[in-house]
């Protein structure tokens, strides 16, 4: 028999006391890196993205967010809401290089680091408490190193579980540190609106509201039978979370599974030359990110979306993993040719490197043709110039005729 108000059985509170989970989330990461490189942008309304019709906002400064600007918003809508915003084109190589430094800082504190994207991660610092002090002290040290070494800021949530730590970091933005002690977890959760729980979006909130459930506390005191009827199996999980029960461990992830880039054309494209030019641009973007992350791709995948929104993909496994734009481009162009005559114009094209491996340990195909090493040397020089002066400062001659097109949307795995 169920008793209202009784917490469901789960992990004992005493075992949670031994855990110290940090959720570290960078503040407006892309914008922050740009402001670090260009101090004149600090305190300004800045948007990272391409100023084009089909582009979207990749990141916005807090000054721009005051006007309602958010990531993934159409750029046209963002500029209508904030017409004097400064739009900065993204430099993904630079962001991935800074991200690699960030993850290195995390791993100086603990081996248990679970990246969620380029700018956020969970850290389990339970094993470092005896050496470094309480989890909140470690969190403060992490924030200090990020500020001193990278010149940007982070918000950190500290709790006994991943779920609560992530909520805490969101509520400490920007540049904050919020600690939720195990014995105060339920009090903290029950003060929040029900939408704070994972998996409860706008439509679900409307359904719950019809049953008088508006807060996490309301849900926590709702019988399981009612939640099953309203939310199905996910209702039981939500109720567990409402009592602070989340036994998931921090799972270290060293390498990304894939890394790619794609572009939506302003006007649908038929011409092979335009598609090849775009493939070359994307290949350089992906290769730069691979090199910044110390990675190499064992498989190259091509994505194509036609004007009727039908989408197909093809992939090719390389004999040796690569971080070279020319090799990515060559493989993608071969895949495109293998599709044969196109039935419709192309709306979107993309390249993705898959089966990633650490490039430092990857073998390199021996060749009597020195052009392969020449390309690699040239691309490494391109990386250095782009990091200092921006992605448009130096590019292959074939790409000089046209400006960079807009990125369609931000992707955490890109």
Catalytically annotated residue among 89, 120, 262, 407: 120
Distances (CA, A) of 389 to 29, 276, 376: 19, 26, 20
- The position carrying tokens 């570290």 is 24
Question: Are 324 and 287 within 8 A, CB to CB?
Answer: yes
Question: Are 146 and 153 within 8 A, CB to CB?
Answer: yes
Question: Are 317 and 355 within 8 A, CB to CB?
Answer: yes
Long-range contacts of 298-301 (CB under 8 A, 24+ apart): 298/354, 298/355, 298/356, 298/357, 299/353, 299/354, 299/355, 300/328, 300/331, 300/332, 300/335, 300/351, 300/352, 300/353, 300/354, 301/258, 301/260, 301/335, 301/351, 301/352, 301/353, 301/354
Query: 3-state SS of the chain: helix, strand, coil percent to 5?
Result: 45, 20, 35
Question: Are 157 and 170 within 8 A, CB to CB?
Answer: yes
- The residues, any chain, with a CB within 8 Å of residue 217's CB and separated by 6 or more, are 189, 190, 191, 242
Q: Is 27 annotated as a binding residue?
A: no
Question: How far from the centroid of its chain's Cα atoms is residue 113's Cα?
Answer: 15
Specify whether 114 is catalytic. Answer: no
Q: Is 25 annotated as a binding residue?
A: yes
Residue 44: burial class (beta carbons within 10 Å; 0-12, 13-18, 19+): middle
CA pair distance 356, 167, nearest whole angstrom:
31
Which residue, among 146, 143, 141, has the nearest Cα to 156 in the 3D structure?
A: 143
So which residues are the catalytic ones?
A: 120
Residues placed in the known binding site for Mg(2+): 25, 119
Annotated binding site: 25, 119
């Amino acid at each position: 028999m169920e008793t209202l108000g009784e917490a469901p059985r789960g992990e004992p509170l005493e075992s949670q006391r031994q855990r110290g989970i940090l959720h570290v989330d960078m503040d407006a990461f892309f914008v922050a890196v740009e402001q670090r490189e260009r101090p004149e942008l600090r305190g300004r309304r800045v948007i990272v993205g391409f100023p084009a019709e089909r582009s979207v906002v990749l990141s916005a400064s807090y000054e721009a967010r005051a006007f309602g600007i958010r990531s993934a918003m159409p750029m046209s809508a963002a500029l209508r809401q904030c017409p004097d915003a400064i739009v900065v084109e993204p430099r993904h190589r630079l962001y991935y290089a800074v991200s690699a430094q960030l993850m290195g800082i995390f791993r100086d504190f603990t081996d248990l680091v679970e990246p969620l994207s380029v700018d956020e991660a969970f850290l389990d610092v339970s094993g470092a408490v005896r050496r470094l002090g309480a989890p909140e002290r470690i969190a403060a040290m992490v924030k200090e190193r990020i500020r001193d070494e990278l010149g940007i800021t982070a918000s950190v949530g500290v709790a006994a579980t991943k779920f609560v730590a992530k909520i805490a970091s969101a509520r400490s933005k920007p540049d904050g540190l919020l600690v939720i002690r195990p014995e105060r977890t339920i009090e903290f959760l029950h003060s929040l609106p029900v939408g704070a729980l994972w998996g409860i979006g706008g439509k679900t909130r409307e359904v719950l509201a019809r049953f008088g459930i508006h807060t996490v506390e309301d849900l926590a005191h709702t019988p399981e039978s009612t939640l099953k009827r309203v939310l199905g199996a996910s209702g039981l999980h939500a109720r567990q979370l409402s009592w602070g029960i989340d036994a998931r461990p921090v799972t270290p992830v060293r390498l990304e599974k894939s890394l790619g880039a794609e572009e939506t054309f302003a006007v649908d494209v038929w011409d092979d030359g335009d598609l090849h030019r775009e493939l070359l641009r994307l290949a350089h973007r992906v290769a730069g990110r691979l090199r910044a992350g110390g990675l190499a791709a064992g498989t190259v995948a091509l994505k194509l979306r036609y004007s009727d929104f039908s989408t197909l993909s093809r992939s090719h496994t390389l004999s040796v993993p690569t971080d070279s734009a020319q090799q990515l481009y060559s493989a993608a162009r071969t895949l495109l040719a293998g599709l044969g005559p196109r039935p419709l114009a192309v709306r979107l094209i993309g390249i993705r490197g898959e089966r990633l491996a650490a490039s430092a340990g990857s073998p390199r195909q021996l060749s009597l043709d020195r052009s392969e090493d020449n390309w690699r040397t040239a691309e490494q020089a391109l990386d250095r110039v782009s990091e200092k002066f921006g992605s448009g400062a130096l590019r292959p001659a074939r790409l000089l005729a046209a400006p960079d097109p807009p990125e369609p949307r931000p992707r955490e795995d890109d």
